[in-house]
Chains A and B, each alone.
Chain A
Amino acid sequence: MSSAVTKVAQPAEPAKAAGPATGQTATEQTAADPATTAAGAAGVGTSGPSGPGSRPRRPATDYSGFPLVGAKHPWRWVGTAVVALGVFGIAWSLATNPRWEWGVVAQWFTAQSVVNGLLETLKLTAISGILGFVLGFILALMRLSASPLLVSVSWTFSWIFRSTPLLVQMLLWYNLGYLYEKISLGIPFTDVRFFEVQTTTLISQFAAAVLGLTLNQAAYSAEIIRGGILSVDQGQLEAAAALGIPAWRRSTRIVLPQAMRAILPTAFNEIIGLVKGTSIVYVLAYSELFYTVQVIYNRTQQVLPLLLVATLWYVVITSVLSVFQYYIERHYSRGAVRSLPLTPLQKARKFFATHAVAPNRARSPR
């Protein structure tokens, strides 16, 4: 290593050996020793600001050969250690406390009834999530329209559904048959009926659940989407209008893709909330994940392990959704950041490419 240094160093540089033993090869521009520069001033002194006739100033020391050393953060290490200890403690207690009954958890985790409940939960989430956001989008556009009627209808919708407890909404939809025995479509104030049906047959548990979750979701997502649209600079719409781009295209091609950046984090919050929010339909005795688990533990009395089963499934769903969120957000951040951050996959690949290849060439997958 030292041989490399001496090879690069100039011969007329006695101070070199005493300099920092770096092993860096950046010593080509050797540290400007005051003595050296004073002697051969003509070559090096050009960078100095001293004009002709002014007193020769000692040139600034050249630090280019010095290695850089990062600042030390001892408290960061202390903090890390404390947190690591805490995490380890929690993990240890989870693993060793027999009352968690992990065996029971494992036994029920993939049981047919639990999986069926899980599928029902996913179904409810997907249907009411999609319908809720579609309706929310329409409500947001209504709210931003120039028509006072549309604006106030949209506002009232959000007002009502955001101020009523979801539980009440659920029970109300399910008991609609009590309020209105029959639902019919016909010409008002005449006896003409195109179609008439008993409310109780129309509003099943599933229908009540979807209706309640969708309408509630729509009220919240309308505000999220509206916020996203408002966050887009007005100049964007103007520029698009000045270019003669039609209104629908302006919304879908210019405004929405930019609004998505503001919409997505909150929207995923809502969807993840909805996944767990579906558990509220247990009041309708609808056999989604949470209700199924309740039924089981009422029978077996293994309350905590079965709640853990449900929780773990919710964790799995949320984790999968979070991965989706990451990639969708990344997609919509095109142009918003100067260069896209690496995905975890790319990071891992880069890590292996830079770290693992040279010493562990034999073992590394690349």
Chain B
Amino acid sequence: MSTATQSLPETATAPEATRGLVEITKVRKSFGTTEVLKGITLTVEPGGVAVIVGPSGSGKSTLLRTINHLEKVDGGHIAIDGTLVGYEVRGRRLHELREKDILKQRTEIGMVFQNFNLFPHLTALENVTEAPVVAQGRSKEEARRRGLELLDRVGLKDRAGAYPRQLSGGQQQRVAIARALALDPKILLFDEPTSALDPELVNEVLDVIRELAKSGTTLIIVTHEMGFARDVADTVVFMDEGQIVEQGSPQELFTNPQEPRTRSFFSKVLEPAFNI
């Protein structure tokens, strides 16, 4: 919690990035008696790319999952473009939204999972078109056209009819990214998108995310790929034991970390990754 929230360098933001401001305020979350988030405050500017790093069990994934209300917070709140996620203010209380309204909010927040979580009984294209038709009420024809466009964008147009199990891990994750993009989200959450991939497949996924970083969508990425983090992030956030220890530009954090905990973490993970 040392440095103040880092505002974005102007060069990184695309001009159209006017939506997708994420404000996380004093968020707490416990599982049983274990407190996994101990008052997290973090702002990600519209079109910004925040990369969250830290040891396993530090609460990175949980934080990500609170942003689209897959995980309810025990305290604090999260707002996207000034609108609270999962709650609404009535009087002086925050009332949890009904399922229907939460689902509507979630269509503005895309999520990509570590294990892809593609629907195995649906083809790549069906995976991509399901939500736009059901959750946004688009026509099947429109969803299909847009779905093929998105699959083309991630380089998989010719595999549209394939079932997930017929695709490699990297291809599956790219379909999952296309599926998340299909709802035109303001924000995209990536939960260790390359952790389940063979090393030689990691880059094809990272390349797609790099492209997205330039598109003006706000990205929040939990990853262990430090080289990629340095490359793509405007803000790197280091978390440990449920707290943000330090945050800053990749340059600041990787080359000159202030906190001893940050330094010791990076000394363990950076050396091999920085021989690029």
Which residues of A are at the interface with B, using a C-beta cutoff of 8 A? 233, 235-236, 238-247, 249, 253-254, 257-258, 332, 334-339
Contacts and interface: CB of A to CB of B under 8 A. Distances in A.
Name the 4 nearest CB pairs between A and B, nearest first: A239-B117, A244-B135, A335-B163, A243-B131
Given A335-B165, A336-B121, A338-B165, A243 B130 contact: yes
Contacts of A245: 103, 130-131, 134-135
Nearest to A258: B121
Given A243-B135, A335-B164, 20 more contacts: A235-B117, A236-B117, A238-B113, A238-B117, A239-B113, A241-B106, A242-B106, A244-B104, A244-B131, A244-B183, A245-B131, A246-B99, A246-B103, A253-B130, A257-B121, A335-B120, A336-B121, A336-B165, A338-B165, A338-B166
A239 B118 CA distance: 8
B119 interface: yes
Nearest to A334: B121
A244 B121 contact: no
B183 A243 contact: yes
B115 A235 contact: yes
B143 interface: no
A245 B134 CA distance: 6
A71 B176 CA distance: 45
Interface string B207-247: 00000000000000000000000000000000000000000
Interface of B: 68, 70, 99-100, 103-104, 106-107, 109-111, 113, 115, 117-123, 130-131, 134-136, 163-166, 179-180, 183
Given A235-B115, A243-B107, A246-B100, A337 B134 contact: no
Nearest to B109: A242
Nearest to A335: B163
B134 A249 contact: yes
Secondary structure type dominating chain A contacts: helix
A335 B131 contact: no
Contacts, number: 77
A314 B100 CA distance: 49
Contacts of A253: 130, 134
B253 to A, nearest CB: 29
A239 B114 CA distance: 11
A242 B68 CA distance: 7
13 contacts: A235-B117, A236-B117, A242-B109, A243-B179, A244-B107, A245-B103, A246-B134, A249-B134, A254-B119, A258-B119, A334-B121, A336-B121, A338-B163
Nearest to A257: B121
A235 B113 contact: yes
Given A244-B106, A338-B165, A238 B70 contact: yes
Contacts of B165: 335-338
Nearest to A246: B103
A241 B115 contact: no
A253 B120 CA distance: 12
A141 to B, nearest CB: 16
Contacts of B70: 238, 241-242
A164 B111 CA distance: 49
A108 to B, nearest CB: 47
B122 A246 contact: no
Contacts of A244: 103-104, 106-107, 131, 135-136, 183
A214 B38 CA distance: 53
Contacts of B130: 243, 245, 253
B11 to A, nearest CB: 31
B166 A239 contact: no
A235 B191 CA distance: 13
Most chain A Cβ neighbours within 10 Å, of B107, B121, B123, B131: B121
